[in-house]
Amino acid sequence: MCVFACLFFFSNSVHSAGSLNDRYTFLPLIDNGEWVYMAEGAEASLMGCSGSCPRNLAIPERVDGIKVTAIGDGAFEGVPLDNVTFTNNLLSIGSYAFKRTELKLVSFPSSLESIGRQAFAENRLRTVTLPTSVKEVRAEAFGYQLDRKLSHLDLGAVRTIWYRAFAGNALTRLILPASLTRVDERAFADNTLSRVTLLGDRPDLSSAFLDN
Q: Could you tell me the end-to-end alpha-carbon distance of the chain, in angstroms, rounded to an integer?
A: 51
Q: Which amino acid is at 77?
A: E
State percent of the chain over pLDDT 70. Answer: 88
Read off the pLDDT band of 26 (50, 70, 90). Answer: confident
SS3 state at 15: helix
Mean pLDDT on 167-171: 98
Its sign, for the CA torsion 15, 21, 26, 29, is positive
pLDDT of residue 5: 36
pLDDT of residue 206: 86
- Cα 108 to chain centroid distance, Å, stands at 9
Residue 120 contacts residue 138 (beta carbons within 8 Å): no
pLDDT of residue 21: 32
C-alpha–C-alpha distance, residues 135 and 181, integer Å: 10
Q: How far is CA 165 from CA 7, 116, 124, in A?
A: 27, 10, 15
pLDDT tens profile 112-157: 999 999 999 999 999 999 999 999 999 999 999 998 999 999 999 9
C-alpha–C-alpha distance, residues 189 and 161, integer Å: 12
C-alpha–C-alpha distance, residues 132 and 112, integer Å: 9
Residue 103 contacts residue 119 (beta carbons within 8 Å): no
> Is residue 25 scored above 60 in pLDDT?
no
> Is residue 8 scored above 80 in pLDDT?
no
Per-residue exposure over 18-44, b if at least 16 CB sit within 10 Å of its own CB, e if not: bbeeeeeeebebbbeeebbbbbbeebb
pTM (2 d.p.): 0.87
> Is residue 12 scored above 70 in pLDDT?
no
> Is residue 16 scored above 80 in pLDDT?
no
Read off the pLDDT band of 202 (50, 70, 90). Answer: confident
pLDDT tens profile 39-98: 999 999 999 999 999 999 999 999 999 999 999 999 999 999 999 999 999 999 999 999
pLDDT of residue 24: 33
C-alpha–C-alpha distance, residues 157 and 124, integer Å: 24
DSSP bridge pairs for 123: none
DSSP bridge pairs for 43: 40, 67
Residue 135 contacts residue 158 (beta carbons within 8 Å): yes
State percent of the chain over pLDDT 90. Answer: 84
